[in-house]
Structure 1
């Protein structure tokens, strides 16, 4: 037995119930997710059965109210669960985060009747959601989206194309942002669209450098008819709905990034403990020890940042700036740590025999989704300095 090796991550869990929850997650990860993660990702298979299991286990609605089928857990606890799932397989951790993002609009802005009708199935009924904001011509500039929703009696008719949609083509419901008024952010409204709605179709999945098991596709809306009862919030409130969801979703991305970085660090530490060069363990060389120390420090700093932001959210305090900081820091950390992990493993790190090359490819995506890291800097600066003068 080597004296070196990955150390268990210390968790700040507020209740015994939360501790039991995390133990359940770790057991599920070890039995159902980790053993097949590499093979499933290489084959590009989406683990729908895993999401069904997570739904049955109550893990798809953790931060939402119990009266609607949720877990009533603080965001601080939910994010630590996400981190564990992402460390085992990012497709799963990110998928849970995206599903939670897709539920956020209805849970936070829907009427009591809407929540009672739809949330139980969304949170614990085996359904899987997707979030439709980006378009081919509007990514970071989300307020310029072109998908339109036109009122027709008691219905709305949606026409347009959404792009870069995680779970596109396999989701059971889509939270769709569409333009119902004039240009700019005030003309946007949110809708809950069934996955089997007539006129809704998905393009071919994007061919990505990583996250091959998680489908990303365009969603085409060709005169999709949605009853007004599925409009979320007030007409024209959609941009505020979208931004609130993104604040919460960015914390999910931050937690997933820390999980991925932790998995890469664990691989690097284990390899350094076993690999011998010049008659002694690789872990004895100061250059490598310093590299691993820096990796671990970055991860702990990122974890502390996303948990601090989560506690602000749980306390009802503003957390937009802190969420952007967490997303920026944690995803940059994942990119750096996975790069360093490949370096620790040397030639082996560049092969598919070890998972660190996959971790590196996956980390890049986290710097882009739910607002690029350049956009996070814009958000942070705007919160501190106000909007730019024109």
Structure 2
């Protein structure tokens, strides 16, 4: 039997989030971008309605919901504020990593604060010379007694300038490739941790930037999982974040398209509504169709994850198509709304800037196609 419906509880949760997005998030969405401010208080409020703890066990104050419900949250919060959806995407990924692999001490220290929205954690993998090829990391962690000493640079890190801590991937072994990579929870206030923000095109409130680790001493208990096996232990989590990113992008595109449909029904040209012109209605029909197809692929991929089934190629499909389709939709909406949409008086230009950032983050379209090809043809035919 195939059932494409959401549960009554999921639909009720969707309504709560959509109402919250309309009343609390949309009005201030562009302000955080203009002021280059991270909306920490709204992040906490998302904690109050359960959004920041969706994939965290109830024993630590989380909701312990299924992945499909987390997808609903990503889609709905993004309708109001694209950047606040990082509270869903990042926290779901990090919540899973800590729950599955962290020590009891780390879980007790960080999971309740993460679930409540009081603390913000980032994930630091990318380096200046290691982006999608994360197995070539150069940041090192050396064991010294009851601590590890971390040194290196992490770049392109979301929430770099505002996070309270980071899950940092560093090389602990001499092996090449993914072997010998470990993960650590590094509090942001430790001596030797420095940050530098970027002047980005979009995602401005998220505080993306670089993190510099200069002989940072981290307690050995802050190792996540087994030494030299961190890369393999947490990579499965990126199948989840890639799907949530796709829904994050689609959510803001849905909002843009719905606003634009109202506009073309009430804006007149040559004596009739714009919606009566095929040059207007056909692009809307095309984009709506494409979004529906990608959206249901996203929820199918999340369902596969909830069932414990393989979904790596499905997640990669979602990741490369979701942001692309969303960017195309928002671009079309700008054109259909005319010159006012090109100004900062409307949120469309910011939505486009924000979505483009996630055509890069968590792996570009090219990288996702490599993943898909590898899954279809076998690892021995990996195209590099």
Q: Name the TM tier (shorter chain).
A: over 0.9
The residue that corresponds to 2:247 in the other structure is 255
Shift in CA distance, 286/141, structure 1 to aligned 2, threshold 3 Å? same
Quote the Cα distance in structure 1 between the aligned partners of 2:321 and 2:288: 14
- The question of whether the paired residues in 2 share the 8 Å contact of 1:135 and 1:162 is answered with yes
Q: CA deviation at 1:117?
A: 4.1
CA distance in 2, matches of 1:125, 1:210: 23
Query: Are 1:192 and 2:185 matched, yes or no?
Result: yes
Deviates more, 1:121-130 or 1:307-316: 121-130
The aligned counterpart of 2:66 is 74
CA contact (8 A) 1:338 1:363 kept: no
**In the alignment, is residue 151 of structure 1 matched against residue 151 of structure 2?**
no
2:86, 2:164 → 1: CA distance?
Answer: 17
| Alpha-carbon separation, structure 1, partners of 2:92 and 2:191 | 25
Structure 1 gap segments, 5+ residues each: 1-10
How far does residue 188 in structure 1 lie from its aligned partner after superposition?
0.1
Alignment of 1:79-228 (within 5 A): 79-124=71-116, 126-182=118-174, 183-203=176-196, 205-228=197-220
**Deviation per CA, 1:146-178, whole angstroms, max 9, x where unpaired?**
100000001101101100111102111211100
Name the Cα RMSD after superposition: 1.6
Aligned length: 378
Residue 222 of structure 2: which of 216, 219, 230 is its match?
230
Give the distance between the partners of 1:47 and 1:113, measured in 2 at CA.
29
Aligned to 2:370: 378
**1:336 aligned to 297, 308, 328, which one?**
328
Instruction: Give the alignment partner of residue 29 of structure 1, picking from 8, 13, 21.
Output: 21
Contact 2:142-2:148 within 8 A present in 1 as well: yes
Equivalent residue, structure 2, for 1:14 = 7
Q: Are the equivalent residues in 1 in contact too, given 2:141–2:150 (CA < 8 A)?
A: yes
Deviation at 1:20, TM superposition (A): 3.0
Deviates more, 1:107-116 or 1:324-333: 107-116
Q: Deviations over 1:109-159 (max 9, x none)?
A: 224454344322222261111000001111011100110000000110110
Measured in 1, the distance between the counterparts of 2:31 and 2:234 equals 35
Query: CA deviation digits over 1:65-123, x for unaligned, max 9?
Result: 21222102111011111111111111101343123323332112224454344322222
Quote the offset at 1:373 in angstroms. Answer: 1.1
Q: Deviations over 1:367-389 (max 9, x none)?
A: 10001111000001001111236
Once the two structures are overlaid, the 10-residue window that deviates more, 171-180 or 348-357, is: 348-357
Structure 2: 5+ residue stretches without partners? none
Task: Answer whether contact 1:86 1:94 (CA < 8 A) is retained.
Answer: no
Conserved in 1, the CA contact under 8 Å of 2:18 and 2:79?
A: no
